[in-house]
Amino acid sequence: MKTFKSVGVVASFFVILVAVIFFFRYAGAEEVVNEEASSGEETKNVIFMIPDGFSAGYATNYRIYKGEETIFDQMLVGMMKTYSEDNWVTDSAAAGTAMATGVKTNNGMISVSSDGEELKTILEAANEAGKSTGLIATSTITHATPAVFASHVESRGSEAEIALQMIEKVDVLLGGGKSNFLPESEGGTQPKQHVVEEAMMKGFQFVETRDELLAIQEDYPKLLGLFAADAMASELERESTTNEPSLAEMTEVAIQTLSKQENGFFLMVEGSQIDWAGHAHDAAWAMTDTEAFEAAIQKAIEFAEQDGNTLVVVAGDHETGGMTVGGYDEYLANVDILHDVSATGNYMASQLNEERSNAHDVLVRYTNIELTKEEEERIMEASDEVLVIVINEIVSERAYVGWSTTAHTGVDVPLYAYGPSSHLFHGVLNNTDIPKRIAKAMKLELNVENH
């Protein structure tokens, strides 16, 4: 009996040992195969999507607002540091420059180093390699984030100059900012040049409305869509007040146009106004523009799934407003009430009469919130400079969405990726790592060794 038990123990041990060895050998082999498969994947196209000002606070509040898991949850791969060359808290120009060139610069500067040297961008590298390129934004298309990919100026305010540089390098430009492409004689910011006409002479098809965008002619390789004189409308107000396309519609049309290029493409898509909502403490604006951005990501993922050679990378350039989930000394979240908000705080402020005596009626109409006497007094007593913030903070307090500042913060932001080479973006990365790894995935020359 003892002998039988001893033999049984030895046999069991042997079986377990073999199983463990087999497991680790198999797991190791599988890891090698996966690494080899990853390194052998072709990344022909990259869609780089930037929700300006977005952070984990926005992502969590949006999940609650949506009521289910979001596309962000499915794509999370790491975190990204955001500081600039001269400040722990970056602005969009310096953050964008790092994400476009792989080099940090001072706040306010557009794809030039802190000493003024032009820095090659990932879009320019794609262009040199024969790929088509595109930029999309819901701000002016010449705003800081899109500007860093296709222009080089020492001040982000030089939007007229940025427009001139963009049409020389980019095949698809979609967003607001038509005034920066028109001469002063037509109400624009260009001293003399009519950049829209110059673009059309270079082969661009020009559209100004959603209807025109969705009916574009297929035989044009280049597309310029300028849907507002300045920034486009917020998603809260877009359908009711304009004939502007959604971010998802712009993304889909851009992909259709760019994917005709056999060598592949690079496309940057910015959800610009998430940041503006954060500056204004407008929680409903932040959630609805995040929703619009998620719809744009979905269009990118659908193409990537079908194509098989497209990498989608998503990362905010910095955090704005210090948004939190909950706050005000209570363990509560009530983000669902933001579904009842139908206008931005800016618009609600514009609907107040001179005495602001109609504040209660305005808030009921656009937010379904019955103001308390104390809240009415806050609106009545607010200076013109902070009136919008006061309205938005009342709504945020009801939703238990907290804010710490009206400026940017320096916290790390979530990093998301999907498709071939997405493994390159795992972990805690610096914002300068992003274009370097996109260049590696696409086999492009970025040349940042000397910076």
Q: Determine the Cα–Cα distance for residues 240 and 92; give it in Å rounded to an integer.
A: 29
Tell me how crowded residue 351 is: count the other CB atoms within 10 A of its CB: 14
Question: DSSP letters along 16-67, please?
Answer: HHHHHHHHHHHHHHHHHHHHHHHHH----EEEEEEETT--HHHHHHHHHHHT
Is the confidence at residue 122, as pLDDT, over 70?
yes
Q: Determine the Cα–Cα distance for residues 359 and 394; give it in Å rounded to an integer.
A: 12
Annotated binding-site residue numbers for Zn(2+): 52, 275, 279, 317-318, 408
With beta carbons less than 8 A apart as the criterion, state whether 173 and 224 touch: yes
Which of the residue ranges 57-61, 226-230, 258-262, 314-318 would you say has the lowest mean pLDDT?
258-262
User: pLDDT tens digits, residue range 99-111?
Assistant: 999 999 999 999 9
Work out the angle at residue 186's Cα, subtended by the Cα atoms of residues 185 and 190, and round it to the nearest 5 degrees. Answer: 70
Tell me how crowded residue 34 is: count the other CB atoms within 10 A of its CB: 11
Out of 92, 234, 396, 422, pick the active-site residue: 92
With beta carbons less than 8 A apart as the criterion, state whether 408 and 90 touch: yes
Query: What confidence tier does 153 reach under pLDDT thresholds 50, 70, 90?
Result: very high
Annotated binding-site residue numbers: 52, 143, 145, 270, 275, 279, 317-318, 408
Is the confidence at residue 449, as pLDDT, over 90?
no
> Active site includes 92?
yes
- DSSP code for 75: H
> For a pLDDT cut of 70, what percent of the chain falls above it?
90
- DSSP code for 118: B
User: pLDDT tens digits, residue range 223-234?
Assistant: 999 999 999 999
With beta carbons less than 8 A apart as the criterion, state whether 117 and 155 touch: no
Q: What is the mean pLDDT of residues 171-195?
A: 96
Question: DSSP letters along 136-150, please?
Answer: EEEEETTSHHHHHHH
Q: Determine the Cα–Cα distance for residues 65 and 72; give it in Å rounded to an integer.
A: 14
Domains plus CATH for the chain?
A: 43-322+406-442 (3.40.720.10), 324-402 (1.10.60.40)
Q: What is the mean pLDDT of residues 299-326?
A: 97
Cβ neighbors of 285 (< 8 A, separation 6 or more) are 234, 235, 236, 273, 276, 277, 344, 345
Task: Tell me the whole-structure pTM to 2 decimals.
Answer: 0.90
Instruction: State the pLDDT at residue 261.
Output: 87
Tokens of 365: 């109409």
354-360: Cβ within 8 A, 24+ apart: 355/380, 356/380
With beta carbons less than 8 A apart as the criterion, state whether 104 and 97 touch: yes
Q: Determine the Cα–Cα distance for residues 167 and 151; give it in Å rounded to an integer.
A: 10
Q: Determine the Cα–Cα distance for residues 123 and 173; give it in Å rounded to an integer.
A: 13
First to last CA, the chain: 76
